[in-house]
Structure 1
Amino acid sequence: MASERKTHRALTVVGLILSLAMAALESTVVATAMPTVIGDLGGIHQYAWVTTAYLLTSSVLVPICGKLSDIYGRKPVMLVGIVVFLIGSIASGAAQSMPQLIAFRALQGAGAGAMQPMAMTISGDIFDLNERARIQGVFGAAWGLFGITGPMLGGLIVHYFSWRWVFYINIPFGIASIALVASAFHERIDRRRHELDFLGAGLLSAGVVALLLATGRLGGAMTVFASIAAVALFAAFLAVERRAPEPMLPLPLFRRPVMLISNVAGAILGGAMMGTITFVPLFVQGVLRGTPTDAGSAIAPMLIGWPVASAIGGRLIPRVGFRPLIWVGLGVTAAAGLALAIGGAHDTPLMLRATTLVFGVGMGLSNVALLIAVQSSVAWDQRGIATASTMFSRLLGGVVAVGVMGGVLTAQLAKDPSIPADAASRMLTAEGAQGLDPLILQHLGEALTSGLTTVFWIIAAMGLIGFVVALWFPHVPLQTADDKAVAPTSSPSRGLPL
């Protein structure tokens, strides 16, 4: 029987790492290629939507998939997520217009909404607290490897082939991950009847969409209508969750200070992180007139500092606990945000790399501690939704922040009537820039500088607020009764060397 088969932890971890590799590559390769994509397909006013669509579906699906994994198991949710992610990647590579790319990125994000939280949840299931902290170092090293190679690979692909191949490179990683997880990871599930919270899931999804519309379009009737709709939908969602037999998000979980503070801090920092990843490459190409490779290398240090700090933090947790790492990490992140904002138009590529490196170090220290603290505070049958809720908060923060920042940038470009609608898109390619009037290029550069400087100050403010919120993070014992709960998986046939 499948339930009696033993989990091979080493092969399972390799499969999880490959799935995370796809996410790491998406963070840098796509960001590197986006200015070139805009130059090819046009539509700079839709620039933020390529990222926002991905974050939107990811954030909606994360809690839903987390709950489904607590009911039906991690494995089927993980495998379906990888398949959907691959379909979205192939379709994104074949997109012929910006609306198509946005739609296919949304499909890709739906797969990520299942794939990413499951990787973290499965690692929480098959390792105890001490091993769990150390395995983050393994995941961090893998993320760092692909984070380092991502910008370089993205620049080479865009230069020598086509931006479409930044999506197609996910195919071999996805196929290998499916094969390993399907064959190596096994779990026993409590087979009983469940009442799925379809109404709660629908209200949550609609509420997130309304919130995106409210924050992504500054001013006008759409903002007012979407804001009212978002408040009403989230209020209805909370009312449904209080009465649902098996709620999508168990509200009693958030009465625990560790869950509440982790989710609030995660939302704020998720916004700062996604804002940095999305708009620093645009700053490099649009303001500093760098190449796609320069744009990718500007955020690559973040994806190096993050895993290195995560690995170090994971090993420090058993010695110093959770709170010191969270406080130090968020303090460093806030300092990096301020450096980005104060530098503004005077930043050089070298200074940007240094700033994003520090930003990544802070995020790595704080996030590993927040995630393991949450996983250690709940039993197996709530670990899926608890892990997913922290990722949901981070993604939702990213959705809102990127929408607001994109709106700020669009509004700034619209202030100068002398700038043609397609000028910013043309500016991002060497051929297009050569065809623009020098005076228009000057005005466009000034508008981009002003808009992106405002965006960087928003990032700085979010970093400071996140640090203040984290000061209330409670003391969490390193070994709680819930953490000792045994996950319903058979014992591993072979341990993973740590």
Structure 2
Amino acid sequence: MSTTKDERDTPSTRELTSSHATDAVEPDPSEPPVWTPKKGQWLIFGCLALLSFIISLDTTIITPAIPVLEQSLKGDTVQAFWAGTSYLLASAVCQPFIVDLSDVFGRREVLLGVVILFTLGTILSAVAHDFHLFLAGRSLQGVGGGGIMASCIVITTDIVPLRQRPTYYAIVQMAWAIGTLAGPVIGGAIAQDISWRWIFYINLPFCGLGLVMVPLTVRLRAERPSIMQRLGSIDWVGGVLFIGSLCSFLIGITWGGNQFRWDSWHTIVPVVVGGVGCVVALLWEAYGARRPFIHLQLFGSISAVLAYLCACLQGALMLGLLYFIPLCLQTVKHFTPITSGLALMVILGVMLPASVVTGALLTRLGTYRWAIWSGWLLSTLAIALLTLLDQDISAVRWVFIFLTLGTGQGLILTSQNFAVQALAKDNRDASAAGLYTFMRSLGMCIGVAVAGTFFQNRLAERLGKAGLDRQVARMAAEFALVLRGKEGGLAEGVKAAYVAVFREAFRDLWIFFAAVSGLSFLLALGIGHASMDRALESEHTLVVERGEDKGEVQAEGETAGV
């Protein structure tokens, strides 16, 4: 097999890594290889779990508070929409480059850097008195949060063999689920009874703990050349071109139908410039870069392409649902921010056990396709049933729908993550894991933007047909407060008319989401099987504590992949 250009030029010690599987005995696929974590791995799991909790809490805590945030900062629906979108955009575009930086400069150093960025962004968001400073803080949080998200899974690939990863990464996912569960409830309570600034202040103690834990626990070592050689090896041209182009493209997509018409030059120019720039960046990565930071060989099979595409669609659907379900409950069923957050816990609560059980089964069975297929099937069914959500639906029915949705998403979340790693070749597990988080985050950016535009346009059209104020569509989140409260000067009959129109617009949105989910299920059927039994090979090795048997630790890593 010929050596690829980026493998020849990587300033690392990959050539010193032994091939552990050369004389391996063929394993029994029904029995997972024996591997147990040592003290160092457990400490890293604890640190990654804390960081995962921080970013998941930050992602969902703001959702039920958007109407109050919009009023407090004297903004409109577009600006409130950017409260989430600015975070997602910054999070997505920087992830591949941050993963590459960690390859060159070290996992601990880069992880500490992104935690610092996240902390600074949190402080700026908390003290902001207008949307300009607030969105700057959210963007900085996004860069840090995206880096943390990618680093968590990449570091897991460094210390855990593939077959065991689903089981032990469940520790990080459990922390993520707890933060995601607590976020809507805490955010709703803060929005209803306390200043919204505490949505961000509450993160600071956890950020401080993370800044202490990262240097103490993430003790991974890799032999590296001098700092100048490392700086010279970074693909700065490709990084700047890719990040700038993708930002332009996503900003244009977000503007379309919200701030500007789709046929406006304000929308067309950034989309076209960004799209062309992304193509040029990928061509540079393929043919021009001495050491590309995007490994295009990860898309070397149809199964891999389909798996990454499904990851993108899953991110789009999941965040779109997390954003619009609370808004639907607040407008159609007059839930408060707290009760809508509690209702969202039904979905997120079942995702935790579903994800953990799926991880254990992946390790036990060594296969992943069954989980991907069943997850997309359940998700499609549940999203289609959301069309039944109206003022009169019983609690038993909507809880059943939410439970089904959470189970499906839990199955997908774990299985697709490790499917792309199993499909990766040439010891590219870490790169595959980083690309997975990027594709999922990219889907979140595009999904929320497209769903927001779709919902606003459908709502405006239905308001016009009903003879109601079409401008309400541009401030839907703020208008939810008017529909739920007694203030606002609207007669009960007029409120009922608005609620009916909102209900129909949400029904259109659920049908759109169900179609996307059904398409994802069809695409997932084309994902092929790849073995999850292979050796743990990573340039980033755990520093062995004094008194531990280094040979024993290494031998266990090798045996786990046999």
TM-score, L = length of structure 1: 0.90
Q: 2:166 aligned to 133, 150, 154, which one?
A: 133
Q: 1:213 aligned to 234, 251, 264, which one?
A: 251
Q: Could you say what secondary structure the match of 1:153 adopts?
A: helix
Q: 2:281 aligned to 223, 230, 237, which one?
A: 237
CA distance in 2, matches of 1:66, 1:284: 38
Would you say 1:457 and 2:511 are equivalent positions? yes
Would you say 1:171 and 2:204 are equivalent positions? yes
1:317 shift after superposition:
0.8
Q: Could you say what secondary structure the match of 1:429 adopts?
A: helix
1:427 maps to 479
2:442 maps to 396
Give the structure with the higher percent helix: 1
Q: 2:240 aligned to 202, 222, 228, which one?
A: 202
8 Å CA contact 2:249–2:272 kept in 1: the answer is no
Q: Which amino acid in 2 is paired with 1:220?
A: D
> What does the per-residue CA deviation read over 1:99-150, in whole Å, with 9 as the maximum and x for residues that have no partner?
4333321111111111111011112211223432221332233233333333
Structure 1 stretch 201-210 or stretch 65-74: which is displaced more?
Answer: 201-210
1:291 shift after superposition:
0.4
Q: 2:540 aligned to 488, 492, 495, which one?
A: 488
1:312 maps to 357
The 1:263–1:425 alpha-carbon spacing in structure 2 relative to 1, beyond 3 Å, is closer
CA distance in 2, matches of 1:382, 1:139: 21
> What does the per-residue CA deviation read over 1:247-296, in whole Å, with 9 as the maximum and x for residues that have no partner?
12111121134432221000111110010011111111223221011221
Q: 1:253 aligned to 298, 301, 306, which one?
A: 298
Structure 1 stretch 65-74 or stretch 142-151: which is displaced more?
Answer: 142-151
1:472 maps to 526
1:380 shift after superposition:
9.2
Superposition map of 1:9-48 within 5 A: 9-41=41-73, 42-48=75-81
1:93 shift after superposition:
1.8
The 1:108–1:188 alpha-carbon spacing in structure 2 relative to 1, beyond 3 Å, is same
2:339 maps to 294
1:342 shift after superposition:
4.9
8 Å CA contact 1:332–1:362 kept in 2: the answer is yes
The 1:353–1:110 alpha-carbon spacing in structure 2 relative to 1, beyond 3 Å, is farther
Q: Which amino acid in 2 is paired with 1:472?
A: G
1:86 shift after superposition:
1.4
1:443 shift after superposition:
5.1
The 1:47–1:106 alpha-carbon spacing in structure 2 relative to 1, beyond 3 Å, is same
8 Å CA contact 1:210–1:229 kept in 2: the answer is yes
The 1:119–1:44 alpha-carbon spacing in structure 2 relative to 1, beyond 3 Å, is same
Q: Which amino acid in 2 is paired with 1:18?
A: L
Superposition map of 1:146-157 within 5 A: 146-157=179-190
The 1:440–1:214 alpha-carbon spacing in structure 2 relative to 1, beyond 3 Å, is farther
8 Å CA contact 2:158–2:537 kept in 1: the answer is no
Q: Could you say what secondary structure the match of 2:58 adopts?
A: helix
Q: Could you say what secondary structure the match of 1:278 adopts?
A: helix
Q: 1:374 aligned to 420, 423, 428, which one?
A: 420
Q: Which amino acid in 2 is paired with 1:141?
A: M
Q: Which amino acid in 2 is paired with 1:19?
A: L
Would you say 1:355 and 2:401 are equivalent positions? yes
> What does the per-residue CA deviation read over 1:420-459, in whole Å, with 9 as the maximum and x for residues that have no partner?
5686455333697612323664454344334333222222
1:170 shift after superposition:
1.0
| Structure 2: segments with no counterpart, 5+ residues | 1-37, 554-562
Q: Which amino acid in 2 is paired with 1:476?
A: A
CA distance in 2, matches of 1:170, 1:349: 33
1:38 shift after superposition:
2.1
| Structure 1: segments with no counterpart, 5+ residues | 1-5
Q: 2:146 aligned to 85, 92, 113, which one?
A: 113
1:345 shift after superposition:
6.7
1:84 maps to 117
The 1:419–1:326 alpha-carbon spacing in structure 2 relative to 1, beyond 3 Å, is closer
> What does the per-residue CA deviation read over 1:297-333, in whole Å, with 9 as the maximum and x for residues that have no partner?
2322222222211110111013331111111122212
8 Å CA contact 2:451–2:509 kept in 1: the answer is yes
1:223 maps to 267
Q: 1:335 aligned to 369, 374, 381, which one?
A: 381
The 1:207–1:344 alpha-carbon spacing in structure 2 relative to 1, beyond 3 Å, is farther
1:190 shift after superposition:
3.2
1:25 shift after superposition:
1.1
Q: Which amino acid in 2 is paired with 1:307?
A: L
CA distance in 2, matches of 1:101, 1:380: 43
> What does the per-residue CA deviation read over 1:445-474, in whole Å, with 9 as the maximum and x for residues that have no partner?
344334333222222122111111111111
Q: Could you say what secondary structure the match of 1:162 adopts?
A: coil
Would you say 1:182 and 2:215 are equivalent positions? yes
Structure 1 stretch 278-287 or stretch 200-209: which is displaced more?
Answer: 200-209
> What does the per-residue CA deviation read over 1:200-220, in whole Å, with 9 as the maximum and x for residues that have no partner?
222222332233234321322
8 Å CA contact 1:272–1:463 kept in 2: the answer is yes
1:66 maps to 99
> What does the per-residue CA deviation read over 1:395-427, in whole Å, with 9 as the maximum and x for residues that have no partner?
111111111111123334544473556864553
CA distance in 1, matches of 2:487, 2:455: 23
8 Å CA contact 1:27–1:277 kept in 2: the answer is no
Superposition map of 1:267-306 within 5 A: 267-306=312-351
Q: Which amino acid in 1 is paired with 2:444?
A: G
CA distance in 2, matches of 1:97, 1:412: 30
The 1:227–1:423 alpha-carbon spacing in structure 2 relative to 1, beyond 3 Å, is closer
1:389 shift after superposition:
0.8
The 1:78–1:311 alpha-carbon spacing in structure 2 relative to 1, beyond 3 Å, is same
CA distance in 2, matches of 1:83, 1:350: 44
Q: Which runs of 4+ in 1 moved over 6 A?
A: none
Q: Could you say what secondary structure the match of 1:26 adopts?
A: helix
Q: 2:224 aligned to 191, 215, 234, which one?
A: 191
2:430 maps to 384
CA distance in 1, matches of 2:116, 2:397: 39
Structure 1 stretch 268-277 or stretch 357-366: which is displaced more?
Answer: 357-366
The 1:184–1:290 alpha-carbon spacing in structure 2 relative to 1, beyond 3 Å, is same
CA distance in 1, matches of 2:459, 2:489: 16
TM-score, L = length of structure 2: 0.80
1:3 maps to none
The 1:457–1:101 alpha-carbon spacing in structure 2 relative to 1, beyond 3 Å, is farther
